[in-house]
């Protein structure tokens, strides 16, 4: 290994949306920057899989919606268009062996369960309003809210088992985790960070409202193309060594030196980096307590979106089976049909234990239950989980269980010597989303410039 000859103003680790944004901002400010990425591509948890026949699917982050202003701005800057998620016709609910169709947002549940579900959603929204987004640990009653899980709160709120089951489906789709894994304070923080629960759940006026023409990685690709010489691939960072006047970033091939380092790697993966000197206790304990969520995306591609002919919008929800939520993920012109099914939380962990053919069988069986037997014969089926990816190890994002925000929260963004932290997990707006990653990249670029050398 050669001794580094260049001293960069900043070395950025991780070329997801956070790292790309930070690099872009610092270069615009005239800094010398190197962006070091473990994978052979940019985008991180956003990965568009493109096939020879021109079809493509987003295996990771895909949707964009209202108030995600930084992501929309970046899409505009790089000429990437958006289009509405197909949402015409009836939604589907499958419960206790029965398929029911309904229009609008209110599922066909027994009235008692429906009222209970509605009251719980309103209550969570109301509680979330009191959260201090910048300092969640300073929220009134924070220790109490952080002492229980979202699941224990749900059990206390909803008398009807049916209501709890459907609330769980929604919660798992939002957090890619079982409600037993998340602190109530984290759920409230996340809810407010993304406006409210309705925004998180919905297509229209919600986080699933639009998608990107050509896939969500297109923006990342175009942004990275503006600084190819500042970007190194296939370079997993193994160690970060702070010296008196500089800081070394060690990869198997090269060691790079910077005056400052920005780390955008998800917290759980930071535990795999050898920090010298070792991280302060708060930081070291925090990153041991932010596990990644669990989710699979199952894609079936059809010659046409056949469910639309039956007046269905492709949206289905069920507490039964592996796939619990589906969306129409067809391209804008509907030239072919794509159904995407989420397998979430504990089901996602169990799904990982199945063979390729059993996973396919299970997902297609669910699609057929919701939309008819045509769903059994896709042109192509594929599924994917970032739990299997060395440089993500789960998705959508790092989560906080009980007690973490209130005991270790202040360490989340606190720089450690010459190290600054970014990544969607550090954002107070759209935490867990691409928009949050971009905001964190902008915030950390400013932070580094304020700290100077």
Interacting residues toward ligand FAD by CB under 6 A: 13-19, 36-39, 44-46, 60-63, 236-237, 264-266, 269, 273, 295, 297, 386, 391-392, 395-397, 423-424, 432-435, 437
CA 94 remoteness from chain centre: 26
Q: CA 77 to CA 219: how far, in whole Å?
A: 9
Q: How far is the CB of 91 from ligand FAD (least distance, A)?
A: 19
Cβ nearer to ligand FAD, comparing 158 with 394:
394
Q: Are 331 and 305 in contact (CB under 8 A)?
A: no
Q: Which of residues 36 and 338 has its CB atom nearest to ligand FAD in the complex?
A: 36
The structure tokens 């969306």 sit at: 327
Contact 303, 336 (CB under 8 A): yes
Please answer whether residues 412 and 421 qualify as being in contact, where contact means their C-beta atoms are separated by less than 8 angstroms: yes
Instruction: Report whether 412 contacts 425 (CB < 8 A).
Output: yes
Give the shortest CB-293-to-ligand FAD separation in angstroms.
8
Q: Give least dist CB 173 to ligand FAD, A.
A: 10
DSSP for 248-291, written as a single string: EEE-SS-EEEEEEEEE-S-HHHHTTSEEESPPPHHHHHHHTT--
Would you state the structure tokens that stand for residue 70, as one six-digit string? 């930084």
Surface-to-core class of residue 232, CB atoms within 10 Å of its CB (0-12 exposed, 13-18 middle, 19+ buried)? middle
Q: Least distance in Å: CB of 163 to ligand FAD?
A: 26
Query: Whose Cβ is closer to ligand FAD: residue 42's or residue 408's?
Result: 42
Between 153 and 386, CB nearer to ligand FAD: 386
Minimum distance from residue 109 beta carbon to ligand FAD (Å): 26
Smallest separation (angstroms) from ligand FAD to the CB of 279: 15
User: Which tokens in the block code for residue 420?
Assistant: 């600054």
CA distance 179 to 293: 11
State the nearest-atom distance from the C-beta of 381 to ligand FAD, in Å: 17
Cα–Cα distances (Å) from 176 to 335, 381, 387, 436, in that order, read: 30, 22, 11, 17
**CB of residue 69 vs ligand FAD: minimum separation in angstroms?**
13
Torsion, Cα of 254, 256, 262, 263 (10° steps):
20
**Residue whose CB is less far from ligand FAD, 142 or 262:** 262
The residue (of 8 and 17) whose beta carbon lies closer to ligand FAD is 17
Q: What is the smallest separation between the CB atom of 8 and ligand FAD, expressed in angstroms?
A: 15
Find residue 113's DSSP bridge partners: none
Task: Catalogue the E-assigned strands of 368-440.
Answer: 380-384, 419-421
Smallest distance, Å, CB 432 to ligand FAD?
5
CB-nearer residue toward ligand FAD: 127 or 434: 434
- In the complex with ligand FAD, the residue whose CB is nearer, 13 or 301, is 13
By the 8 A CB rule, do 256 and 233 touch? no
Q: How far is Cα of residue 55 from the mean position of the Cα atoms in its chain? A: 23
Residue (68 or 116) nearer to ligand FAD, CB: 68
CA distance linking residue 402 with residue 180, whole number of Å:
9
Peptide bond into 369 cis (omega under 30): no
Of 164 and 418, nearer to ligand FAD (C-beta) is 418
Using CA atoms of 177, 317, 48, 217 in order, give the dihedral in degrees to the nearest 10. -70
Pull the structure tokens for residue 167.
């609330």
CB of 190 to ligand FAD, least distance (A): 12
Phi, then psi, of 100 in degrees rounded to 5 = -125, 140
Q: Which is nearer to ligand FAD, 1 or 111 (CB)?
A: 1
Based on CB atoms, which residue is closest to ligand FAD, 328 or 435? 435
Nearest distance, CB of residue 28 and ligand FAD, angstroms:
18
Residues ≥6 apart with Cβ < 8 Å to 228: none
**Cβ neighbour number for residue 55 with a 10 Å cutoff:** 17
């Amino acid at each position: 290994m050669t001794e580094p000859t260049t001293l960069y103003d900043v070395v950025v680790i991780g070329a997801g949306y956070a790292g790309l944004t930070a690099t872009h901002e610092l270069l615009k400010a005239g800094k010398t920057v190197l962006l070091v990425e473990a994978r052979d591509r940019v985008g991180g948890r956003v990965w568009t899989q493109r096939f020879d026949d021109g079809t493509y699917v987003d295996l990771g982050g895909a949707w964009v919606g209202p108030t995600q202003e930084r992501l929309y701005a970046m899409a505009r800057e790089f000429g990437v268009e958006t289009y509405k998620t197909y949402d015409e016709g009836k939604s589907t609910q499958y419960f206790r062996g029965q398929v029911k169709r309904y229009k609008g947002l209110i599922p066909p549940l027994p009235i008692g369960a429906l009222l209970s579900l509605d009251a719980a959603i309103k209550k969570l929204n109301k509680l979330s309003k009191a959260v201090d987004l910048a300092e969640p640990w300073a929220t009134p009653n924070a220790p109490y809210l952080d002492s229980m899980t979202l699941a224990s709160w749900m059990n206390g709120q909803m008398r009807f088992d049916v209501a709890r089951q459907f609330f769980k489906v929604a919660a798992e789709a939002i957090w890619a985790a079982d409600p037993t894994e998340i602190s109530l304070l984290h759920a409230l923080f996340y809810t407010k960070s993304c406006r409210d629960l309705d925004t998180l759940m919905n297509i229209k006026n919600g986080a699933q409202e639009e998608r990107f023409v050509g896939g969500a990685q297109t923006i990342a690709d175009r942004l990275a193309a503006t600084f190819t010489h500042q970007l190194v691939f296939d370079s997993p960072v193994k160690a970060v060594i702070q010296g008196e006047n500089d800081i070394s970033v060690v990869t198997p091939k090269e060691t790079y030196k910077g005056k400052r380092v920005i780390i955008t790697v998800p917290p759980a993966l930071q535990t795999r980096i050898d920090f010298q000197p070792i991280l302060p206790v708060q930081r070291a304990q925090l990153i041991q307590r932010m596990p990644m969520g669990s989710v699979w995306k199952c894609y079936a591609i059809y010659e046409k979106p056949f469910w639309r002919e039956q007046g269905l919008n492709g949206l289905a929800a069920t507490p039964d089976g592996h796939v619990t939520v589906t969306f129409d993920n067809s391209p804008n012109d509907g030239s072919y049909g794509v159904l995407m099914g989420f397998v979430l939380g504990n089901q996602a962990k169990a799904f990982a234990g199945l063979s390729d053919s059993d996973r396919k069988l299970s997902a297609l069986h669910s699609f057929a239950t919701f939309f008819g037997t045509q769903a059994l014969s896709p042109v192509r089926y594929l599924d994917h989980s970032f739990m299997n990816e060395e440089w993500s190890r789960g998705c959508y994002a790092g989560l906080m269980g009980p007690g973490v925000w209130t005991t270790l929260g202040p360490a989340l963004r606190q720089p450690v010597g010459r190290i600054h932290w970014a990544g969607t997990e550090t954002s107070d707006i759209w935490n867990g989303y691409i928009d949050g990653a971009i905001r964190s990249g902008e915030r950390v670029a400013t932070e580094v410039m304020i700290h100077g050398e």
